[in-house]
Amino acid sequence: MNLDRVAELIRELLVELGEDPTREGLQKTPERVARSWEFLTRGYRTSPEKALNEAVFRSPGSSMIIVRNIEIFSLCEHHMLPFYGKCHVGYIARDKVLGVSKIARLAEVFARRLQIQERLTEEVAAAVMKATNALGVGVVLEAKHLCMMMRGVEKQHSSMVTSAVLGSFRNDSRTREEFLTLIRNGEN
C-alpha cells in the first residue's frame, strides 16, 4: 500500500468535507489515517496460508471442537464503516486440528478487508474446512453495523446474525443442533 498516496487522498477528502487540513489538529491526520487504513485492511496483504504458518496438528478422533467469542472487527464494503462482533467456530476434525489462536488469525485474514457479513462468515467457514480437511464446519457471526447505527437507519436491525455450515454441519441436523447448543451455552 502506498502510504503517501493514501495520505494525499485523505488530505483532499478533508478539503472536500469543508475542513482546513493545515490547521494544527489536522496536520498529521492524513498520515495517521493512511497508517490506520493499512492496518484495518491488512487482510489484503496476507493469506490463510501465511496466517496459519503450518500450525496444523495431527489428531485422531472425531469430537466437535468449538472456539467461541472470537472478536471480529471489519469494514462494510457499502459504506466503509466498521462492523464488529463475535464469531463462533465449530468443526469436527477428521485428522487435523488448528491451534485456538490460529482460528482467530484465520478469521482476521478475511475480516480485515472490505466485507459484507454474509461473505465473511462463509469465507471463514471455507478456510477452516480447507485448512483442516474437517468432516464439517459451522460458523456463526453476530455483529453490529455502524453504518446502520450511526446513520440512524434500521436501528432495530443494527445487530445481525449470520451463519455458514459445511459438510456434516449442513447434512446432519443433530450435528448442527449440538453446535448451536454448545455456542449458546457459552453466552453470558
By the criterion CB under 5 A, which residues form the site for Zn ion?
Answer: 76, 78-79, 147
User: Count of residues for the chain?
Assistant: 188
Q: Which is nearer to Zn ion, 35 or 79 (CB)?
A: 79
Q: Shortest approach of Zn ion to residue 78 CB, angstroms?
A: 4
Q: In this chain, which residue has its C-beta nearest to Zn ion?
A: 147
Q: Shortest approach of Zn ion to residue 159 CB, angstroms?
A: 14
Q: Give the span between the Cα atoms of 134 and 93, in whole angstroms.
A: 5
Q: Shortest approach of Zn ion to residue 80 CB, angstroms?
A: 8
Q: Which is nearer to Zn ion, 50 or 78 (CB)?
A: 78
The 3-state DSSP class for residue 113 equals coil
Q: Shortest approach of Zn ion to residue 114 CB, angstroms?
A: 10
The 3-state DSSP class for residue 188 equals coil
**Residue from 33, 50, 70, 59 nearest 133 by CA:** 59
What element of type H or E holds 91?
strand 82-92
Q: Which is nearer to Zn ion, 110 or 169 (CB)?
A: 110
2: DSSP letter? -
Q: Which is nearer to Zn ion, 67 or 111 (CB)?
A: 111
Reading the block at residue 67, the C-alpha cell is 472456539
